[in-house]
Structure 1
Amino acid sequence: MNRNGPVALLCHSLFVVFMLAPLIVVMWMSLTPSNLLSLPTTSFSLRWFKAILANPQFVSAFWMSIVLGVVAATCAMALAVPAALALARHNFAGREALVGLFLSPLIIPHVVLGVAFLRFFTQVNITGSTAGLLASHVLIIFPYGLRLVLAALTAADPAIERAAISLGASSWTVFRRVVFPLMIPGVAGGWVISFIQSFDEVTMTVFVATPSSMTLPVKMYHYIEESIDPLVASVSTVVILLTFLLMLLVDRIYGLDRMLVGKG
């Protein structure tokens, strides 16, 4: 078995430190008793975590992000599954162009998408509506779910489906008993990734969100413009810890490698 040499281990260690250092600094600053963003050196305090509960705007924005992420991810996966089936199992004219169209939100800057959505929603008179916010989130997270479902279908053996059809199974039975179970890792992974992308989205949401439909990242963005106290650091720490617990729970129940990579 090949082992990593000292240079590779050093590079890996530096990469891990580089990735974790910003998170550790933010979590450390959230424990400061000071009124300014600073690293605590002599004492620690939970005052800024208590301040979160005393700020109903942050609490409502958090639940708005949760509901929006769940609904948007579910809608995106409901669209990604039939789209992936059509692209993976059929060859037709314009297939590659359609793939490029579906994945185009990955390469378009979110600032451009935000301006375009704002202009479009103004034209159709749904500016500031929850439906418009949901539709914009579904569009930008749809490619993530589609790619993972396509990967799961590509890895599946089409001979299994043909065998089921040759044994007399109907199209619906083949999908329900054969195809969809093979897609579950991609669907589950796509849903989680889509939810995270929707929950974290701020650049595009700034243009289409309103005070009544403000998500947590947008609320944090506006709060930083007005104040420099550590409340934002405490909110970020809560989000980091909840994300870690969610991924740990998913790993224990289902397995991240199976969900994201498709291992059996």
Structure 2
Amino acid sequence: MSGMRHNGPIALMFHALVVGFVLAPLVVICLVAFTPANTLTLPTAQFSLRWFTAVFAHPDFVASFVNSLWVAAIAATIAVVLAVAAGLALDRYDFRGRAALNALFLSPLMIPHLVLGVALLRLFALLGATGSFLWLTAGHIVVVTPYVLRLVLAALSGLDRSAEQAAVTLGASSWIVFRRITVPMILPGISGGWLLAFINSFDELTMSIFITSPATVTLPVRMYMYATESIDPMMAAVSALMIAVTAVAMLLLDRIFGLDKILIGQG
């Protein structure tokens, strides 16, 4: 009853307005993507897949979409490996520099991506590595690793280590304990971290603008470049596809780990 008093009609109305305000632009973009007209107009008299067909017939957008998928998948996978190793060290060992190491891994969350992009551009230029798919992926790894680390630490903090201790008592090696017991028990955090890293890498624009090359342009960067030249419903179609990819990933994230747990882990 106390929860009902705290969430009265005014509070519910306010929450509904906030949700509507956030979702309204996304709904408009998705509706405009189905227009048969040559301009960004609503309402539309009929719906068409014309602009979605145009997207898949545009070689630059297709190549950028593939680049984004590869970069996001590789960056998320390497970030998981780094985050699991760092998470185990930070959660289970007390050593000199532990707080500094934790701050180092989480520092990309506090640095604006604009600043990070300029810094990485300068670093890669000094190394002579500009325009490389490898270094573009490295930049994305820097950005997404903190998200994975937070979820891995959240999973490790609630882990009951009695099963690990029992396995060690029965003669299991450290590798077997890690592979057969620890990893399965924190798998929701690992899976959720991978998906969250994939989403953030796939949608990353600000930092990517500085370190991409004509051969490694990602989809958000391609959209930005296209929008500077012309704006037509094809931009809405690409945006709708990105919204769909992100929505599917978020649904999987919720099914595997639970968005409420993610919010707690990020807090």
Identity rate of aligned residues, in percent?
Answer: 52
What residue number does 2:237 align with?
234
1:18 aligns with 2:21: yes
Q: Secondary structure at the match of 2:39?
A: coil
Amino acid at match of 1:79: L
Q: CA deviation at 1:261?
A: 7.2
**Structure-2 separation of matches of 1:59 and 1:98:** 39
- Kindly indicate whether the alpha-carbon contact (under 8 Å) linking 2:199 and 2:249 is maintained by their aligned counterparts in 1: no
* CA-atom RMSD in angstroms: 2.1
1:170 aligns with 2:173: yes
**Structure-1 separation of matches of 2:200 and 2:263:** 18
1:143 aligns with 2:146: yes
1:79 aligns with 2:82: yes
**Structure-2 separation of matches of 1:172 and 1:87:** 18
Amino acid at match of 1:75: I
TM-score, with length taken from structure 1: 0.92
- Per-residue deviation, residues 5-34 of structure 1 (Å, max 9, x unmatched): 212321221222122111101111112233
Question: Structure 1 regions of 5+ residues with no counterpart?
Answer: none
Question: Structure 2 regions of 5+ residues with no counterpart?
Answer: none
1:203 aligns with 2:199: no
Q: Secondary structure at the match of 1:213?
A: coil
- Kindly indicate whether the alpha-carbon contact (under 8 Å) linking 1:27 and 1:237 is maintained by their aligned counterparts in 2: yes
**Structure-1 separation of matches of 2:248 and 2:149:** 26
Q: CA deviation at 1:161?
A: 2.5
**Structure-1 separation of matches of 2:151 and 2:32:** 36
- Kindly indicate whether the alpha-carbon contact (under 8 Å) linking 1:117 and 1:208 is maintained by their aligned counterparts in 2: yes
- Kindly indicate whether the alpha-carbon contact (under 8 Å) linking 1:66 and 1:199 is maintained by their aligned counterparts in 2: yes
TM-score, with length taken from structure 2: 0.91
Amino acid at match of 2:92: R
Specify which of 161, 164, 178 is matched with residue 164 of structure 2: 161
What residue number does 1:65 align with?
68
**Structure-1 separation of matches of 2:118 and 2:187:** 35
After TM superposition, the structure 1 = structure 2 runs for residues 19-38 of structure 1, keeping only pairs within 5 Å, are: 19-38=22-41
Given the superposition, is the C-alpha separation of residues 18 and 238 from structure 1 closer, same or farther in structure 2, using an over 3 Å criterion? same
What residue number does 1:95 align with?
98
**Structure-2 separation of matches of 1:112 and 1:250:** 29
**Count of matched residue pairs:** 262
**Structure-1 separation of matches of 2:137 and 2:213:** 13
Q: CA deviation at 1:110?
A: 0.7
Q: Secondary structure at the match of 1:40?
A: coil
Amino acid at match of 1:167: L
1:214 aligns with 2:217: yes
- Per-residue deviation, residues 32-91 of structure 1 (Å, max 9, x unmatched): 233222223433332211211221110111111011110110011111111100000000
